Amino acid sequence: PSTSFLPSPSCSRSKSYFCFIALPALFKQELQDTEAEEGSTATLKCELTKPKAPVEWRKGDVTLYPGLKYEMRQQGCAAELVIYDLELEDS
């Protein structure tokens, strides 16, 4: 797959140097609501326009990190958040 770049107007160029700004990753498919029972596991999925783009999962203002409660998976353009042992507070 090709990567799109746009030249930056503030960059200087010489015979051997060019400066580019990469286009940001966007959502091709945004998160969908998921229903699950308390105590079970839920998986939230989204699809990005760029493979392996950095993803940060948040609940409100709180950044989520991998551990016993959360698992983050990413393959190509697909990103998933798995939430284990669901509680009412996870909604």
Specify whether the CB–CB gap between 48 and 28 falls below 8 A: yes
pLDDT of residue 6 exceeding 70, the answer is no
4 pLDDT tier (thresholds 50, 70, 90): very low
Q: At the top level of CATH, which class does the domain 27-83 belong to?
A: mainly beta
The torsion angles phi and psi of 47, rounded to 5 degrees, stand at: -125, 135
Domain range summary for the chain, segments of one domain joined by +: 27-83
Three-state SS at 82:
strand
pLDDT of residue 9 exceeding 80, the answer is no
Q: Which of 90, 88, 82, 87 is nearest to 42 (CA)?
A: 82
More confident residue, 1 or 47: 47
pLDDT digits (tens, 9 = 90+) for 11-57: 555 555 666 677 788 888 888 888 899 999 999 999 989 888 888 99
